[in-house]
């Protein structure tokens, strides 16, 4: 029998991350490939799971998932797609008539309302 109280000693270091939380991290990374470890950490914090970004990075690294590239924001195409309902394009142009007069015109185009026409190429 041992009398050095080794049975009472607690384990050293941090407790391991729960398996359910690891699965959730891998699921979020799989469903959202453009999200990095910081974005996943923010989403998990919103869901009530406090976990450090470095822990998420370790989980992803152990699973062989490469980190998402750092981006400052959405691409131009993503921005236009998301904001199409509120974008209006304007064009100011002039037409010279055969009588020597110049007519000025301004046209507005609401991007959210554009519908492709079947024979649009015939106009050109």
- The pLDDT of 44-63, averaged and rounded, is 93
pTM over 0.75: no
Query: Which of helix, strand or coil describes residue 85?
Result: helix
Task: Choose the most confident range, by mean pLDDT, from 72-76, 86-90, 102-106.
Answer: 102-106
In contact, 76 and 60? CB cutoff 8 Å: no
Coil, helix or strand for 28? Answer: helix
In tens, the pLDDT along 2-31 reads 667 666 777 777 788 889 999 999 999 989
Cβ neighbours of residue 108 closer than 8 Å, sequence gap 6 or more = 88, 89, 90
Q: Helices H, strands E: what count in the chain? A: 4, 2
Q: Where are the alpha helices (DSSP H) in 13-94?
A: 19-31, 37-46, 53-62, 76-83
Domain ranges of the chain: 19-62, 76-122
d(CA 81, CA 56): 31
Q: Does residue 45 contact residue 53 with C-beta atoms inside 8 Å?
A: no
């Amino acid at each position: 029998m041992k009398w050095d109280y080794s049975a009472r000693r607690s384990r050293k270091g941090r407790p391991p991350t729960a398996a359910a939380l690891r699965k959730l991290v891998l699921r979020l990374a799989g469903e959202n490939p453009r999200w990095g470890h910081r974005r996943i950490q923010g989403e998990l914090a919103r869901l009530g799971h406090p976990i450090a970004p470095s822990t998420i990075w370790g989980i992803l690294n152990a699973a062989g998932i490469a980190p998402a590239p750092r981006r400052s924001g959405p691409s131009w195409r993503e921005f236009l797609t998301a904001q199409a309902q509120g974008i209006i394009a304007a064009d100011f142009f002039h037409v010279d008539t055969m009588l020597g007069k110049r007519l000025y015109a301004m046209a507005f185009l609401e991007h959210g309302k554009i519908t492709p026409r079947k024979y649009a190429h015939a106009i050109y």
